[in-house]
Structure 1
Amino acid sequence: MLKKLGLTVLLLLGHSAADAAVRDFTLHIDDGDLTITGAGGTTLSVWGYGETAGLPVVPVPTLTVNEGDTVNVTVYNHHNAPHNFVVQNVTTDANPIAANGSKTYSFTAPTAGSYIYNDTLNNNINREMGLHGALIVRPADNSNTAWTGGPAYDHERIWVISDMDTPRWNDVAATGGNVNTSVYKPNYFMLNGLGGFDAMMDHNTMIMGMMDEVTLVRIVNAGQFSHSLHFHGNHFEVINVSGIRQPAPFEQWDTINVPPMSVAEVLYTINQTGEYPMHIHTAQAETANGVYLNGGATMIMMH
Structure 2
Amino acid sequence: MNIKRDIERIRRRLAVTLMLLGMIASPAGVWARIQGVTGVQGPKGPVFHLTAGSFHITTPDGHSLLMWGYGIAGSKTQYPGPTLIVNEGDQVTVTLTNQGLPMPVSILFPGQHRVVATGGSTGQITRESTGPNDTVTYTFVASHPGTYTYYSGTRPGLQVEMGLVGALIVRPKAGADHAYNDPATRFDREYLLLLTEVDQAVHTQVELGHLDQINNTLTHSTLWFINGRNGPDTLYDDNVGWMPHQPYGALVRMHPGEKVLMRVIGGGRELHPFHTHGNNFTLIARDGRELSSGPGQGIDLAVSDYTLQVQPGATYDAIFEWTGEKLGWDIYGTTAGGRPHTCVDNDGDGFDETTHEYCPDHEKPIPVILPENQQLTFGPFYSGSPFLGVLGNLPPGEGGMNLYGGMYFMWHSHSERELTNDNIYPGGMLTMLIVEHPSVPIP
CA RMSD of aligned residues (A): 2.0
In 2 relative to 1, CA 65–123 (structure 1 residues): closer, same or farther, beyond 3 Å? closer
Q: Distance in 1 between matches of 2:194 and 2:276?
A: 16
Partner of 2:224: 189
What 5-or-longer segments of structure 1 have no aligned partner? 1-5, 14-20
Equivalent position of 1:259 in the other structure = 311
Give the Å deviation of 1:60.
Answer: 1.1
CA distance in 2, matches of 1:153, 1:141: 12
Give the aligned length.
Answer: 288
**Structure 2 unmatched ranges of 5 or more:** 1-35, 118-125, 239-248, 293-298, 325-387, 389-406, 437-443
| Cα distance, 1:159 vs structure 2 | 1.0
Distance in 2 of aligned mates of 1:25 and 1:142: 22
Report the CA distance shift for 1:242/1:106 in structure 2 as closer, same or farther (over 3 A): closer
Contact 2:195 2:265 in 1 (8 A): yes
The answer to whether the aligner puts 1:294 opposite 2:339 as a matched pair is: no
Give how far 1:52 is off.
Answer: 3.9
Cα distance change, pair 58–123 in 1 and its aligned pair in 2 (3 A):
closer
2:96 maps to which of 61, 75, 91:
75
CA contact (8 A) 2:116 2:138 kept: no
Kept in 2, the 8 Å contact 1:86–1:92? The answer is no
CA drift at 1:104: 1.4
Choose which of 25, 28, 39 in structure 1 pairs with 2:48. 25
Q: Is 1:278 matched up with 2:411?
A: yes
Match of 2:189 in 1: 155
TM-score of the superposition, structure 2-length normalised?
0.62
Residue 36 of structure 1 corresponds to which residue in structure 2? 59
Alpha-carbon distance in 1 for matches of 2:103, 2:75: 15
Q: Deviation at 1:53? A: 5.5
Deviations along 1:259-296, whole A, 9 cap, x unmatched?
A: 10111111011223511000011011111111111101
**1:138-287 to 2 correspondences below 5 Å:** 138-150=171-183, 151-167=185-201, 169-177=202-210, 178=212, 179-202=214-237, 204-247=249-292, 248=299, 250-272=302-324, 274-287=407-420
Tell me the distance in 2 between the aligned counterparts of 1:165 and 1:194.
15
In the alignment, which residue of structure 1 is the partner of 2:68? 47
Tell me which residue corresponds to 2:158.
125
Q: What pairs with 1:47-126 in structure 2 (closer than 5 Å)?
A: 47-52=68-73, 55-78=76-99, 79-90=101-112, 91=115, 93=117, 94-100=126-132, 101-126=134-159
Alignment CA distance shift 1:92-1:43 (3 Å): farther
Q: CA deviation at 1:11?
A: 3.1
Name the CA distance, whole Å, in 2 between partners of 1:62 and 1:270. 27
- Work out whether residues 7 and 60 of structure 1, in 8 Å CA contact, stay in contact via their aligned partners in 2: no
Q: Distance in 2 between matches of 1:175 and 1:95?
A: 27
Of Structure 1 and Structure 2, the greater strand share is in 1
Q: Which moved more, 1:63-72 or 1:265-274?
A: 265-274
**Contact 1:31/1:48 (CA < 8 Å) preserved in 2?**
yes
Secondary structure of the 2:232 match is helix
In structure 2, C-alpha distance between the alignment counterparts of 1:139 and 1:210, rounded to whole Å: 25
- Residue identity (%): 26
